[in-house]
Amino acid sequence: MRVKAVEQAVVVTKFVTACEASYQAFKTATLLKTLTVNALIMGEVGVGKRSLASFILPDASIFDASNFDELLTALESCSEVIITNIENSPNLKRLIDTIKENTIRVIATSKQSFNNEFTDDLFSVKFDIPPLTERGKDVELLVESFADEASTLFGGNEKFNIKNFKPDLTQNAKSLRRQVMINYLLQDIQDNELIEIIQNYLHDKLGSNSDYKKFLYLYEVPMINAGLSRFKSQLQLSDRLGLNRNTLRKKIADNKEYL
């Protein structure tokens, strides 16, 4: 039964439920889908708040609370609505008064635990979605899902190489998806393609007489990082690169911002 629920969550909401915390959040969303109460979903960027909100109210229009005039106009003619980033509303009291006056069903999201005297009265249910740093099993499933998406998007048959892959969870699923897409694209990149990427990056940045030294880190940093990861010691790396050990140490010190 649990496995079936997990599969359903992935297919219907794109909200993975491999770990207990996300599974409980999905259970709450499933319950809210059968009720008519207002709810506030809280959590960091990229944890799946909007996915669950759309699962609860699949036919509702979605508005960012910062677009205040557009939102107020929409509230005049709808019976249910999803409001994202409700903490950014420039006039929260007026917004909530309008919702109550028009008896509108609302599912809202907030980027952090959000407590306010006006919202406390409006939302019968509040729940948090934990960040992916606390949802290790979800991360594994998301990496697999994003890799499949990358394979379809880029038309490749390559299996995603997870060796030395360290998930970027700074923005949860948002940063993780971007990272997987980039890594998938680059894992079998050709020399000429890599050169073209760097060339395009540098094209509009060049212009001073110190640019060679300024942008040398684009070559040195990945070389040093890859070498240290592969050979495990500065001594081994300096030998492989044909550099004096002190020269390598200086390059590491010069590029410490990126290493």
CA 121 to chain centre: 31
Q: How confident is the model at residue 6 (pLDDT cuts 50, 70, 90)?
A: very low
Mean pLDDT value across residues 137-148? 92
Average pLDDT, the chain: 89
Report the pLDDT value the prediction gives residue 54, as an integer from 0 to 100: 94
Report the pLDDT value the prediction gives residue 121, as an integer from 0 to 100: 85
Mean pLDDT value across residues 91-116? 90
pLDDT of 234 above 60: yes
Q: What is the pTM of this model?
A: 0.77
Q: How confident is the model at residue 154 (pLDDT cuts 50, 70, 90)?
A: confident
* Range with lowest mean pLDDT among 50-54, 82-86, 123-127, 188-192: 188-192
Query: What pLDDT, in 10s, does the model give residues 164-213?
Result: 789 999 999 999 999 999 998 888 888 998 899 899 999 999 999 999 99
Report the pLDDT value the prediction gives residue 158, as an integer from 0 to 100: 76
pLDDT of 139 above 80: yes
Q: How confident is the model at residue 157 (pLDDT cuts 50, 70, 90)?
A: confident
CA atoms within 13 A on the CB side of 22: 27
pLDDT of 55 above 60: yes
